Structure 1
Amino acid sequence: MLKRIGIVLVLLVAAIAIGLMVWEPLAAGRAEAPPPRAYDVAIARDRFGVPHIFGATDADVAHGIGYAHAEDDFETLQHVVAMTRGRLGAITGADGAKTDYVAHLLDVRATVARDYAGQPADVRALLDGYAAGLNLYAERHPEEVRLARLFPVNGQDIAAGFVLRSPFFTGLENVLGALGEGNDLPAERALPDAPNVTPAGPPEIEKGSNAWAVAPSRSDDGATRLVSNSHQPWRGAVAWYELVVHSREGWDFAGATFPGAPYPLLGHNRTLGWTNTVNRPDIIDVYRLNMAGEGRYRLGGREIALTRRRVWLPVRWGPFVLPIPREVMASEHGPVMANDRGHFAIRYGGRDQLRMVEQYYRLTKARDFAEWQRAMAIQGIPGTNFIYADARGNIGLFYNAAFPARRPGFDYAGILPGDRPEAIWRGIAPWSAVPKNINPTSGYIINANHSPFVAAGPSSELRRQDFSPLLGIEEDMTNRGVRSIELMEAHPVVSQATLEAIKFDTSVSRNSWAGRWFEAMLALDPQGDKAVADAQALLRRWDWNYDGQGPADALAVLVLREGNRWHYPRKEQADPRVALKQSAEHLARHFGRIDPPLGELLRLRRGRVDLPLDGGPDVLRAMALWDVEKDGRLAVRHGDSFLQFVEWDREGRVRSKSINPFGAATTRPRSPHYADQAELFVAKRFKPTWFDPAELRGNITRAYRP
């Protein structure tokens, strides 16, 4: 036995040595650092540790953003940078290698190499400045660097992060996951059990958010109001990071960003603001290739060779990083994946371009509605709704997407014939074709990840018949969407207090899918099962509200989560009996009863902080996903995240307030700002944004230059 083990160890060491000899030449090269430059930037931390970054130029500010964010979350930033280089697997192992494979499949670096030099000079300066900020932090803190040769990074690395991550807010992970597993591709493009291939988080994450905009005609005091209520993971590569920026070039903005982005991605400046909610139009098409032999496919009477490349995926295994070879393929349609069912090509709106990098920046610099719309017309951001408001009282919903310029005659919801050249669309629909609901007569706009045809109340909606079915506009309705309209219609005049009460509403509408889901459970025949009968009896006492006050709230939260597992991903409805029984069994097992208070079940846990929560999945006080911990409690990890209320008064003066679930120091447990916002978040209270530097002066706890 010992001899056999020794032989295995020798073979393993030999394999590792051979692998390293192959891999090291591929990984040894360092990227070029951005051109040297002296940056004029200062960082002021407010009482909650939020960085306020001041620079002479916008590029100086971007440098400060990179450095400040690294101070608070260098771990995640390294993951993002490694991802853009196809080296995430070298840090996180097999899961990261899946993302690295996708980066190669989409040929992200080739897109950047082709288009980067053509970006405007101010955009490249911004990207380089941000990269230089990360490099400076890495140089000063070498003990925190996780991966050799990861630094320095440059502007192309930062741009690559946008190219890689953007498609995953449009559902690309579902298609890639299904093709990788050899699963069916149903028309709705939502697929069960897809592996985690997305840099935007695990596939089960329900990319959600709520948003409201209220015009002066609807408000009680003539103000314009905007509510940003994003639902993102509370940690990781797409967790929000709050910041405020000011430059002497006129860049003034308060909002939040993701790790790896050199500017805020949503929030407000002095005259306008916006927020985003994920939308799910069908902008991804899949083609079954007609193969003509090894590595060749038929297209319009021609035989064409697939483009094939061997790539190496670094995978951490204990103390070693092993290179794993994989092949990536492409056709004229787009990237190609093969499984037991054949070869499939993928084409999606907004692919193979870098325009989103400039677009986000121009949005933050816009000073009026016309400028902002010109930035939107760049059409670089492939998906997500934009909900807009400004100091002049304009509000609007923009169902933004890179809609493919499809030709009629094909079923784009199914698998397309890969040998028909006319099925391969070129380009995207013009900005004029994008659905927009601007300044509705109702005086309000809402969205909660549902159809754009329900956004402003019965008298002010867009008409479905005005838009081509080839756009693939979604028809989904969430409970949050139904409930938002109900609440806004119930208040002819909306005050600040009313809007806050609406945002924190914890109710389920009987008119929503969730209402029908609960009715199905109450209608079950218990068939002599006491557990089912007892759970039904408790649910009949429920007040349809997750406010933590009723005895059935905990059971109802678990039941709603089981419902949302099938409803949001557009799967077939689950068995209500199984969902009800399993939910009751969880409570009985861990609490000895099926009616514990909701706050004992649903928790905000971070370090030593352990606080009760209310709300639940698909309600406006969103607690969407959680980790089931050893004690049976549910530690929320996804739901209400960065929350910002913005107001422009009658004179056009802006003020805002915000809150996050934890704190600014995302991965720094020893920081006083690791969880210092948690109690406010649980209590549904806010902190000032201190957007005006004059207001900030008395609330600075630390000021320094990087």
Structure 2
Amino acid sequence: MTSWLGRIGFALLILVLAAFIALATWEPFWAKRDGVALSDETYTAEIIRDEFGVPHIYGERDRDVAYGVAIAHAEDDFSTLQDVIAMARGRYGAIAGQDGAAIDYVYHLLDARGTAESEYPKLPADTQALFEAYATGLNDYAAQHPGELKLGNLFPVEGKDVAAGFALRQPFFFGLNGVIEPLVTGGDLRREFGPDIPGFPREGSSDTALQPAEDAAEDAEKESLAYSPFGRDGAHNGSNAFAVTPERSGGPTTLISNSHQPLRGGVAWYEFSVESEEGWHFTGANFPGSPFPFLGHNRTLGWTNTVNMPDMVDVYELELDESGTRYRFADEWRDLETRTVTLPVRFGPVVLPIRREIHRSVHGPVIKNDKGAFAFRYGGIGNLGQLDAYYRLNKATNLEEWEAVLSRMDIPSTNFIYADAEGNIAYVYNAAIPDRPEGANWRGVLDGSDPALLTDGPVEYEELPRYVNPASGWLYNANNTPFTAAGEGSDLAPEDFAPELGVELKQTNRSRMAWKLLSEAGQLDRAALERVKYDTGYMRAGYIADLWDGLEALDLSERPDLAPARDLLIEWDFTADNIGPADSLALLIIREFMSCRYQNKGCPTVLEELEKAVTHLDTHFGRLDVPMSELLRLRQGDVDLPLDGGSDTLRASTLWHVHDDGRLALRHGDSFIQWVEWMPGERVTSRSIQPFGAATTRPRSPHYTDQMQLFVEKRLKPVHFWREDVLANAQTRKTVTNRR
């Protein structure tokens, strides 16, 4: 008997071991592809790195440069590039577990690969050539560095894979995860576009007095973030942009790019310069997975972006038949497209295959929940024209050419702030908003059976808010309504634009401060603009006013222990400058109220946030008036530096990691800053800075932390745009090629 039991136990052990091996190894074999369309071209690029490790990439053709961009970026951050490629292939769950699988679900739900398959071949040949060269660069680096690979058979990739990544990520810049999450969970859609301009309230706005959060608000936020390719830091927590004419600056046309992004990860800025003999000469920054910069400048013009939040998504309730496989559209029943996909989900050393059904109707993706079946359609759905549009913007030479590209409406969203060597400045509220007929409640849930509610394409470019050379001589955006952008007498009026556009009317504290400071300034020279850009002040208006009114009204008769903190906050000077004794308390208490207003989610109570702030400071510092410079830090490797600024100040320290010592390590806020100047009759010059350095995931690199001290001191480094400057400051120089 003992012998038989031993044999059975041994057999079970073998089965368990076999199952473990299968679960640990199936995913790379399952993901292996045949027939990947690899380029047979030869590419050669020169990569010169300056004193800060920023790569300057040269090539005979644009596609040679794109090959070099992939190599240079992989040298600095191949880890993040692999994450982005895994997302673009629906395999991120095999790296990041359940959070990654949620993104893979969205990849299939939006049919990102299908969009790439259908639309990529329609792109101009030179744009496709750019993406094929970029994919080749990634493949070559992967082949030469097998020890860095996270997943088997992730490479080789082709241009369509890179394109699929664009199709996946772009809709989340205008908040698509805020629609997907409640549809998946069966929660309520928050689709308000709240007011903050006196006299222009909107029914159902969330911008009212502070209200208690729903019990599930925190869980809902985590769930929502899980469906975003940008992770916890999101893509729309703030940015600033400024443009000033020579008349107002007293000298140069000035463009200030100050995008607030995560400091690490798939939407962290990567700085580089490109130049080819075909006329592509640009310096700026991109996100991992792109062969070209998304913002920056060339010889004659430049632009920067801030996230805008128009109503870009329409939601439809479908009427299904008894089988649940057909839906009514007009007078007919149509088959609901359904397919089953496999999501790889890593749990420790094994990867489980999870099967999910994906549905689609004529409207777009469909999600079923306990309340029914809901389809959604969004601006830019099925369009990959942005891959060509950004490339053409890089090579535009004047305002007319630049606007001609934007007017194609191929870039689904984001504000554009522009300046050029001719002294022009412009602001375009760029958004491929669905062209909606009048009469329907487009912010509600629409009747999916009514063909009249099925939009087809965006509105005309001329319908969007737009400024060119306003009388004030300046323009700005800080993720606010486009109706405050140029000062009194130059701002556009909301009533001049159709309500079906769904243009946001919200303000941010950054916007209020920028509008005030720019309006009050005389000459906007470099020193004046530096004071604006690095301002740490708050206005007692909007949610800040509501919060402080709430503090003053608090009844602390049952919580006298919180009175000292409340009194300290009431006496605060409303500047997050590392000077006032209440700066740390204010930093801790403001962030959640900024977030809930900006993202249209339930707000916490003033009492609970005050209690959390007090508990944190007491626990970790033993005092309430701890200097903010001791609380808020910029940390990377062994470098640990003090910071200023707060959530929603122009000097932005928006989100942070709470470390074991109670310090807050910045993870989102001021990131890539670029300051561009065109002096009349002179060549363009620019300066820039990153929070860490060029090699953010390479601890052994000298450029892992070498910009941090400059960043905290509010100093910028030179951008070596012109080749003679690059050569004069070159630290390394090499040629890369795929010639074997």
For residue 429 of structure 1, the aligned residue among 434, 459, 484 is 459
Alpha-carbon distance change, 434 to 652 in structure 1, aligned in 2, over 3 angstroms: farther
1:289 aligns to what?
A: 318
Aligned position for 2:296: 267
Q: Could you tell me which of 195, 198, 210 is aligned with 2:240?
A: 210
CA distance in 2, matches of 1:449, 1:497: 24
Larger deviation: 67-76 or 18-27? 18-27
> Which position in structure 1 is the counterpart of 2:121?
117
The equivalent residue for 1:459 is 489
Q: 1:181 to 1:8 in 2, by over 3 A?
A: farther
TM-score, normalised via structure 2 length: 0.92
The 8 Å contact of residues 190 and 601 in structure 2, kept in 1 or not, is answered as no
Specify the SS of the correspondent of 1:545. coil
Aligned to 2:134: 130
After superposition, the C-alpha distances for 1:32-84 in whole angstroms (9 at most, x for unaligned) are 25322221210000000000001111111000000000000001101111111
* Letter of the 1:215 counterpart: T
Structure 1 Cα separation of the partners of residues 462 and 25 of structure 2:
55
Q: 1:262 to 1:311 in 2, by over 3 A?
A: same
Q: Identify which range, 473-482 or 290-299, moves more after superposition.
A: 290-299
Q: How many Å apart are 1:598 and its aligned residue?
A: 0.3
Distance in 2 (CA, whole Å) between partners of 1:557 and 1:421 is: 50
Identity %: 50
Q: Distance in 1 between matches of 2:442 and 2:233?
A: 23
Aligned residue runs from structure 1 range 560-599, under 5 A: 560-599=590-629
The AA in structure 2 aligned to 1:477 is Q
Q: Work out the CA distance in 2 between the residues paired with 1:5 and 1:549.
A: 69
Q: Higher mean Cα deviation, 184-193 or 272-281?
A: 184-193
Alignment partners' CA distance in 1, 2:687 and 2:28? 50
Cross-structure match for 1:649: 679
Separation of aligned partners in 1, 2:395 and 2:513: 34
- Tell me if the contact between 2:173 and 2:235 (Cα under 8 Å) persists in the aligned partners: no
Q: Which residue of 2 aligns with 1:41?
A: 45
Aligned residue in 1 for 2:560: 530
Q: Summarize deviations over 1:87-121 as a string: whole Å, max 9, x none.
A: 11112211111111111111111111112222111
Instruction: Show the counterpart of 1:407.
Output: 437
| Cα displacement string for residues 566-609 of structure 1 (whole angstroms, at most 9, x for unaligned residues) | 11112344311221221122111110001100010000111001
Distance 1:251 1:503 in 2: 30
1:185 aligns with 2:214: no
Taking the TM superposition and a 5 Å limit, the aligned residue runs for 1:548-567 are 548-567=578-597
Partner AA of 1:619 in structure 2? T
| SS of residue paired to 1:705 | strand
Give me the whole-angstrom Cα distance separating, in 2, the residues matched to 1:629 and 1:372: 45
User: Match for residue 276 of structure 1?
Assistant: 305
Residues 348 and 237 (structure 1), Cα distance of their counterparts in 2 relative to 1, 3 Å cut: same
Q: Deviation string for 1:359-383 (max 9, x for gaps)? A: 0000000000011011112211111
Superposed displacement of residue 240, structure 1? 0.3
Shift of 1:493: 1.2
Find the aligned partners of 2:26 and 2:601 in 1 and give their Cα distance.
44
8 A Cα contact 2:551 2:570, kept in partner? no
Check conservation: 2:259, 2:306, Cα contact below 8 A.
Answer: yes
Matched, 1:201 2:231: yes
Does residue 62 of structure 1 match 2:66? yes
1:140 aligns with 2:144: yes
The offset of 1:539, in angstroms, is 1.4
For 2:262, the equivalent position in structure 1 comes to 233
Residue 293 of structure 1 aligns to a residue in which SS? coil
How do residues 303-314 of structure 1 correspond to structure 2 at under 5 angstroms?
303-314=333-344
Structure 1: runs of 5 or more not aligned:
none
Distance of aligned partners of 1:477 and 1:6 in 2 relative to their CA distance in 1, 3 Å threshold: farther
Q: Tell me the distance in 2 between the aligned counterparts of 1:246 and 1:545.
A: 43
Answer whether contact 1:213 1:387 (CA < 8 A) is retained. yes
Q: Deviations over 1:654-704 (max 9, x none)?
A: 100000000000210110000110000000001000111112222111000
1:419 lines up with 2:449 in the alignment: yes
Contact 1:16–1:322 (CA<8 Å) still a contact in 2? no
How far apart are 1:705 and its partner, in Å?
1.1
The offset of 1:410, in angstroms, is 1.2
**Kept after mapping to 1: 8 A contact 2:346/2:352:** yes
Contact 1:33 1:152 in 2 (8 A): no
Q: Number of residue pairs matched?
A: 704
SS of 2:167's partner is helix
Change over 3 Å in CA distance of 1:532–1:24 after alignment to 2: closer
2:75 to 71, 74, 78: 71
* Distance in 2, Cα, partners of 1:248 & 1:286: 48
- Aligned-residue Cα RMSD (Å) equals 2.0
How do 1:658-697 residues align onto structure 2 when only pairs under 5 Å count? 658-697=688-727
Amino acid in structure 1 at the alignment position of 2:641: L
**Per the alignment, do residues 199 and 8 of structure 1 end up closer, same or farther by CA in structure 2, a change over 3 Å counting?**
farther
Q: Aligned partners of 2:699, 2:37: CA distance in 1, in Å?
A: 31
Tell me if structure 2 keeps the 8 A contact 1:30–1:152.
Answer: no
In the TM superposition, residue 492 of structure 1 has moved relative to its aligned partner by 2.3
Cα deviation digits, residues 615-645 of structure 1 (max 9, x gap): 0100001011001111111011000000010
1:529–1:217 distance in 2 versus 1, CA, 3 Å: same
Shift of 1:319: 2.5
Measure how far apart 1:448 and its partner are.
0.3
Distance 1:98 1:6, change over 3 A: farther
Offset, 1:26: 4.0
Q: Using the TM superposition, name which of 342-351 and 30-39 deviates more.
A: 30-39
Report deviation, 1:15. Answer: 5.7
Task: Provide Cα deviations, 1:452-490, integer angstroms capped at 9, x if missing partner.
Answer: 001001110112121110010001100000000000011
Task: Work out whether residues 259 and 673 of structure 2, in 8 Å CA contact, stay in contact via their aligned partners in 1.
Answer: yes
- The aligned residue for residue 224 of structure 1 is 253
Give the alignment of 1:314-333 within 5 angstroms. Answer: 314-333=344-363
Could you report, residue by residue, the CA deviation over 1:513-554 in whole angstroms, capped at 9, with x for unpaired residues?
323322321332322522321012211332111110111100
Deviates more, 1:300-309 or 1:314-323: 314-323
Q: Which amino acid aligns with 2:299?
A: R
